[in-house]
Amino acid sequence: MEAPGSADVQMDTEGSRETFIRVTNHGKMRSWIAFSLNFFASDGEKRLILHTLPSAVDPDVESDRQPPPSVTAKEASTATSVTPRLISVVEVVKREFIKNLEKDRSPRLKGLHQYNEILTLEELGVTVKPSRAKEGQENPTETEENTRSQQILQALSGKHQLVSSVHPTIPPFHCLFFSSQSPRQTQSPFLRITLSLVELPDLLLRGATYQPPIIRKVSKSAKMRAKKRAKSALAKQTTAGAAPAGN
């Protein structure tokens, strides 16, 4: 499996049960997707957090391991403009996870639980350095991308708003619901999405919004086979536990 670059992935080093993936403009989506699928196949108890933060910023929003850094205006702008790419990665991971369950004949019917947070760099104490470029020297393409991403974030921050209403290239399955607090224009918003095999009530208490998992559609015959496999596995465990110890 092709792994993302070390700069894009921050592994759990202090028992936090969290792994972070930084989605960027230059990284390979297939690498992030493959890493994510392998992550959930190898450790079902951890949570995977995908975000668009600049590399200098600690993705653990509750961490106090280092003082808040400063970033350039361009880095802050990129944290917003990469939003559509992050959403695309998450949706592909969720769909492929369901496909893998079917391929592996897993008895699990639920997909990945998703928690969405729109935060700002300013909330984390990050200082955004003003751009040195004059107003007439801004890159039109970057400005257009940032404006579109700002619109997406603002739409996401309103209740029952569809992402596709402001970004027609994103299919309807990218509909996400966020809190009603919209980031102000003077702030630098970024998106953080947590995926997990189990529900995470602590994120709801922190203000995240929840997107339920995809439910597999399984035929009656497949359900019967899954029940038989589960029953057979339970019987083997019971038999093994009841077997007398050897002399």
Cα→Cα distances 219→16, 102, 204, 222, Å: 39, 11, 34, 5
Full-model pTM: 0.70
Higher pLDDT, 187 or 97: 97
pLDDT of residue 219: 73
> Distance (Å, rounded) from C-alpha 127 to C-alpha 131?
12
- Helices 140-157 and 73-81: crossing angle in degrees, nearest 10, is 60
Band of residue 94 on the pLDDT scale cut at 50, 70, 90: very high
User: Are the beta carbons of 154 and 120 closer than 8 angstroms?
Assistant: no
> Distance (Å, rounded) from C-alpha 16 to C-alpha 32?
21
Q: Once rounded to an integer, what is the mean pLDDT over residues 87-99? A: 96
What are the domain boundaries of the chain? 9-219
pLDDT tens, 102-124? 898 888 889 999 999 999 999 88
Band of residue 220 on the pLDDT scale cut at 50, 70, 90: confident
Return the SS3 of 113.
strand
Q: What is the mean pLDDT of the chain?
A: 76
HSE at residue 152, side-chain half, CA atoms within 13 A, is 26
pLDDT of residue 17: 74
As a whole-number percent, the residues of the chain with pLDDT over 70 amount to: 63
* Residues 6 or more apart whose Cβ sits within 8 Å of residue 15: none
Structure-block tokens of residue 113: 């639980």
pLDDT of residue 221: 75
Residue 202 has pLDDT above 90, yes or no: yes
pLDDT of residue 228: 78
pLDDT of residue 1: 38
pLDDT tens, 146-164? 655 555 565 555 443 444 4
